[in-house]
Amino acid sequence: MDVLWMAPLLLVPLLMWTSSTFVFYFKKCFYVAWMMLLALFAIPLCILKSGGRDVENMRIIRSLVRHVKYFLGLRFEVSGWERLQTEGPYVIISNHQSSLDVLGLMEILPDRCTMIAKKELVYAGTVGLICWLGGIVFINRKKTSDAKSVMTDAAKTMLDEQIRLWVFPEGTRNQKGGLLPFKKGAFHLAVQAQVPIIPIVFSSYSNFYLRKEKQFKSGTIRLKILPKIETKGMTSDDISALADQSFNLMRSAFHQISNNTFQLSHYLARAQQDTGLSDPEVLSS
């Protein structure tokens, strides 16, 4: 009986070693379950600290989530940190590849910053509740009139409460090796509030995370924080040009840092083959 009870425990490390598909599902399930557990722990802390919904709760969420990357074998390399030291409110825009973006977001999230997210997220159990407590702004992507109304209110809140908002202008996850055309909501928000836009680019996850191929290996994610784009004096007539400018800057940065990441991964893989070493931390140190 003891042997039968131990069999599943022995099977898990064996499958982790031999099956990339098992690793993919194991990491995905662990990620979701652990985030929900962290949210359950964070909920009473946020209520005790702020009494309810408050952007200051993002400090608690940020501190609780930052360790998750180690469990998944991920590392972050950030350039342009100083560009987030801008005073006052601003809009952050970034590309969106998967739910793993949350880890990069929490890695560099500035104080008094929250996000704009799809309305469906609020129903995601403990994660939905902690998002609400963190002041996340929820929009209904299917109703344009509702989304515009929320953005108008968000612009007023940004100025009244001196907060920053993080937006994914592609509007949905994208792992096709580039950026999807930007929706205009983030740019309407920035122009209406007359606050700067700070673009942030995540490198491609394709060297370690492939959803269709069911691969989820260890890897390095590069985050590049680009110079801010001022919107003072702009009107609604400038929004299309502003969106195009931001898209072109971010697309260029995406290809640059993604190519560098791919070259580094290729070099490390070759070095492992040539030396017989298997620890990427040793090879990259």
- Residue 148 is predicted with a pLDDT of 76
Which single residue is written with the structure tokens 């840092």? 257
Residue 69 lies in a domain: yes
Q: What is the CATH number of the domain that holds 114?
A: 3.40.1130
Determine the Cα–Cα distance for residues 84 and 81; give it in Å rounded to an integer. 6
- Residue 9 is predicted with a pLDDT of 64
Residue 233 lies in a domain: yes
Residue 52 lies in a domain: yes
Model confidence pLDDT, tens digit, residues 250-278: 999 999 999 865 444 444 444 444 454 44
| Cβ neighbours, 10 Å, residue 207 | 20
Q: How confident is the model at residue 99 (pLDDT cuts 50, 70, 90)?
A: very high
Residue 2 lies in a domain: no
Task: Indicate the pairing of strand 197-202 with strand 137-139.
Answer: unpaired
Residue 275 lies in a domain: no
Residue 267 lies in a domain: no
Q: How confident is the model at residue 93 (pLDDT cuts 50, 70, 90)?
A: very high
Task: Indicate the pairing of strand 209-210 with strand 215-216.
Answer: antiparallel
Helices (H), ranges, 135-238:
144-161, 185-193
Model confidence pLDDT, tens digit, residues 40-65: 999 999 999 999 999 999 999 999 99
Global pTM value: 0.85
Q: Which domain holds residue 139?
A: 18-259
Mean pLDDT of 26-30: 96
Residue 4 lies in a domain: no
Domain count, the chain: 1
Model confidence pLDDT, tens digit, residues 182-232: 999 999 999 999 999 999 999 999 999 999 999 999 999 999 999 999 999
Residue 272 lies in a domain: no
Both tokens of 143, joined, read: 């109703």
Q: Are 207 and 201 in contact (CB under 8 A)?
A: no
